[in-house]
Amino acid sequence: MEHPELDRRERDVLALERRGFSGPGAKERAIREELGLAPVRYYQLLNALLDDERALAHDPVTVNRLRRVRDARRSER
């Protein structure tokens, strides 16, 4: 079955996650300036994308890395 493509915002969220950020606040600033989102909303969208098969098909390396990070954090709780 063919999955519909991710929309522009979803692709932009994954692209931002692929980048490395120097120093505290740099990522949050990029989220606000480049995507026009509040960081809380960004992380809500990102978390939903991690469970979306379309995101996995679009960027398996980033999605799998973030899933591992999320799973590790959950198991620490």
Exposure string of 56-74, with b = 16+ CB inside 10 Å and e = fewer, is bebbeebbeebeeeeeeee
Q: Which two tokens stand for residue 23?
A: 């120093």
Could you tell me the residue ranges of all domains in the chain? 8-76
* Mean pLDDT for the stretch of residues 51-69: 97
- pTM here is 0.87
Long-range contacts of 72-76 (CB under 8 A, 24+ apart): none
Note the pLDDT tens digit of each residue in 5-57.
Answer: 999 999 999 999 999 888 889 999 999 999 999 999 999 999 999 999 999 99
Q: What is the pLDDT of residue 40?
A: 96
Q: What is the pLDDT of residue 65?
A: 96
